[in-house]
Structure 1
Amino acid sequence: MGQDIRGKIAYITGGSSGIGKATARQFAKEGIHIGIIARNPDKLAKIKEALAGYDVNVVTCSADISKQEEVKTAVQTLEQQLGKADILINNAGISEYGNFQEMDEETWKHIFEVNVFGTYHMLKEVLPHLSGKQKGDIFNISSSNGLKATAGSTAYSASKFAVQGLSEALMQEVRTDNIRVFTMNPSLVATELVFGDELEEQNEEKYMQPEDIAEYIAAQLKLNQRIFIKQSAQWATNPF
């Protein structure tokens, strides 16, 4: 049989929009207490209000995950107000598309600072929680672009390939502590990251939705602790 996830504590980055927001809502339905880290205080206030009707504790922190000191402060706040994490969802990320020769160095660096070093910073602060409990779950949200690069995505694809390598090596290191590392690689998901202000115009019957990813995350968590899905890819059935 699978395991009961009610009462666990999850930290989610980028939890005020997109996949992170949907995951926070799904976790609230499942009875998981939630710590949300994101940059925008207004969006954080809205998601906290939206989750107020669920019988779970919700704590939010505004932080830029590319900055180690901000991550450290945020994680300390979540630990003090919520408790040490059982689950870490590394979801926050940014993208920028353009031909290699057209993209400047600062943009390249910033993508890596958020997508790669942001994940690193969170792992560095939260992994001791899981190691101390000798049990836990880490979800690193990569991308289909982290499995197969596409033209115009040199920086984004490179950052997501880096997340793949980090996840693979970390998974081997922490298995002996009963910590599971899941790497997820969704293709196009109807989020602000992809569609921006035109999000509401997207066809929900065609495009993969953040809620689809959130439901899958919850299902993986319920697997018996002796098993996990190391790497998976999520695709829309017929988006054309």
Structure 2
Amino acid sequence: MSDPLDIKAVHTDVYSSIDPARFTHALAGKVALVTGAGRGIGRAIALAFAQADVKGIALLARSRGELEETAALCRKEKPGVEVCVCPADATKTKELDEAVDKAVKELGEIDILVNNAGANRLRPFHMTPPEEWWSILEVNLHGPAHLMSRVINPMRARNSGQYIINVSSRAAVMASRGFASSYTSSKTALTRMTACVQAELDGDGKDKVCCFSLHPGGPKTKMNYDLVEPDVDAAYPGMHDKVRKFVDIQEDTVELCAWTVVYMCSGRANKLRGRYFDVEQDIEAVVAAQEEVLAANKMDLKVDYAGGWSYLAVPTNQMKH
């Protein structure tokens, strides 16, 4: 029996709404492409897809060795699943194109794209070389946008249950804290792009192609432990230890994100397509409250103006919006 839905609950691991037993054949026949699939959250998503009975999985990351490990685990999880290993650098469009071409040739058209690969550095802006600042956006924004551009037209043509999940971050929607302006900017842009692409899909009657942005939680991944470099720690003494202690107290498992993604790709959250989700909130409780979400335009990027002011009060501004 499922637990009562609690929209205020904070989850750190798999819970009843995303119980794997509910999704045994939920993704049967689907072909998925997962970036950042060599370890951590990406690997967990690939394994969850195998358990949910996808037809095939394309795995994309820089390290072939890590991808081969993920592929072996997927085949062990579901003997017979087709797995395509696609080593590629998320900043190099030629390699991304080659990966997509290989995946489509070996598995068929992609039904699910999960843009999970990401990069971050906790550096103040004044200590960040311009090329390093931009490189974060290359991974977190340009890579996902390029892959979306490669799969969107075949998805639109089928319009029969295709999904794009862009792994975002709370950094995209929370008050600015500094020390990660490139990462924050990239994730905010990715979240906004997700909603914009969905608006285009809906406007063209392609509403069976669903895009979501998703905060993946705070698991103890290698990237999170390596955020502060020595020169930054020297300029801001104790920052390295402070960040490591913060990561140490995080309790979110990678499976929490993985099975939230499966839930999204199962069709249960389609009415909230284009929205931003947080894995720690009960997704089924959010779906149950979808009319409230849509009516109040929640789970979307926006500015709350002082005094309740709104430019939408002027009729001509309705069209500008």
Q: TM-score, normalised by structure 1?
A: 0.89
| Aligned with residue 209 of structure 2, among 163, 174, 179 | 179
CA distances 1:17-75 after superposition (whole Å, capped 9, x unpaired): 11111000000111112111111111111111222221311111011121111111110
Do structure 1's residue 195 and structure 2's residue 225 form an aligned pair?
yes
> In structure 1, what is the equivalent of residue 60 of structure 2?
37
> In structure 2, what is the equivalent of residue 80 of structure 1?
105
- 1:52 match: secondary structure: helix
> In structure 1, what is the equivalent of residue 49 of structure 2?
27
Q: How far 1:187 moved relative to its partner?
A: 4.2
> In structure 2, what is the equivalent of residue 168 of structure 1?
195
> In structure 1, what is the equivalent of residue 166 of structure 2?
140
> What RMSD over aligned residues (CA atoms) do the two structures have, in Å?
2.3
| Aligned with residue 159 of structure 1, among 186, 201, 208 | 186
CA distances 1:57-95 after superposition (whole Å, capped 9, x unpaired): 111101112111111111000000011111110111100
> In structure 2, what is the equivalent of residue 232 of structure 1?
277
CA distance in 2, matches of 1:131, 1:183: 19
Q: How many residues align?
A: 231
> In structure 1, what is the equivalent of residue 86 of structure 2?
61
CA distance in 2, matches of 1:105, 1:203: 31
For residues 94-173 of structure 1, the aligned pairs below 5 Å read 94-135=119-160, 136-148=162-174, 149-173=176-200
- 2:32 match: secondary structure: strand
- Are the equivalent residues in 2 in contact too, given 1:188–1:235 (CA < 8 A)? no
Q: Which has the higher strand share?
A: 1
- Are the equivalent residues in 2 in contact too, given 1:137–1:180 (CA < 8 A)? yes
- Are the equivalent residues in 1 in contact too, given 2:122–2:180 (CA < 8 A)? yes
Q: Which runs of 5+ in 2 are unaligned?
A: 1-22, 227-243, 282-321
CA distance in 2, matches of 1:122, 1:4: 24
- Are the equivalent residues in 2 in contact too, given 1:86–1:130 (CA < 8 A)? yes
Aligned residues with identical type, % of pairs = 25
CA distance in 1, matches of 2:68, 2:181: 35
- Are the equivalent residues in 1 in contact too, given 2:59–2:85 (CA < 8 A)? yes
Q: How far 1:210 moved relative to its partner?
A: 1.1
Q: Which range moves more in the overlay, 145-154 or 157-166?
A: 145-154
Q: Which has the larger radius of gyration?
A: 2
Q: Which amino acid aligns with 1:215?
A: W
Q: Which runs of 5+ in 1 are unaligned?
A: none
